[in-house]
Chain A
Amino acid sequence: QQQVKQSPQSLIVQKGGISIINCAYENTAFDYFPWYQQFPGKGPALLIAIRPDVSEKKEGRFTISFNKSAKQFSLHIMDSQPGDSATYFCAARYYQGAQKLVFGQGTRLTINP
């Protein structure tokens, strides 16, 4: 199954709170899991990424938690700020003669001041 399921569809968090977005996949051929951030009118931009042999990766306020056995991974945004308001996409990569990214459905995150 070349699908990545993402939830929630939308999320509202107070400033300073923790934002959590979850993704799940079925295909064990996926070998790289990036998160993209997209602001209105802009293209997606890579935020942070992880490989399945690592359970957690942290970059500043952004952390990916990865559970290989459950085939789930999540993005945590600590101390969420209004500037973090954007749409977030999880993705999964597999290689079949070429690199292919399969994206989740996206989460619209709103941080209230």
Chain B
Amino acid sequence: DTAVSQTPKYLVTQMGNDKSIKCEQNLGHDTMYWYKQDSKKFLKIMFSYNNKELIINETVPNRFSPKSPDKAHLNLHINSLELGDSAVYFCASSQRTSGRLTYEQYFGPGTRLTVT
């Protein structure tokens, strides 16, 4: 199926650990995003990559490091996990936009991260 997929779907870990979330899209898009959805369901962009190049980096702690090995994959590595990192992390993809041209963002199913 053509889609944005994420692994794992659930991740439970202890404070101080390092963990990674993987994202893959087979939609042929060249831009990928990471969003964080907090416990109140507020959705906020964290990063965006276009053709392996970082193009959006919102105010996110340095403990979060995205990596894009190719334009179909975008991984998120989190160091020294904190309680406040507990959230649902969504990967999304779209075609690269230029100026007024807008392309729909397709979201993955999310990874629920619980830090204890």
Contact = CB atoms under 8 A, between A and B. Distances in A.
Physical interaction between A and B: yes
Interface of A: 31-32, 34, 36, 41-46, 49, 87, 89, 93, 95, 97-101, 103, 105-106, 108
Contacts, number: 61
Contact-residue size bin, chain B (C-beta under 8 Å from the other chain): 20 to 34
Residue with the greatest number of chain B CB neighbours at <10 A, chosen from A32, A45, A46, A99: A99
Contact of A93 (B31, B48, B90, B102): B102
B77 to A, nearest CB: 21
A101 B90 CA distance: 14
Contact of A95 (B40, B43, B90, B97): B97
Q: Which 6 residue pairs across A and B have the least CB separation, nearest first?
A: A43-B107, A99-B97, A98-B55, A103-B43, A106-B41, A32-B102
A43 B109 CA distance: 4
Contacts of B11: none
A32 B103 CA distance: 10
B56 A98 contact: yes
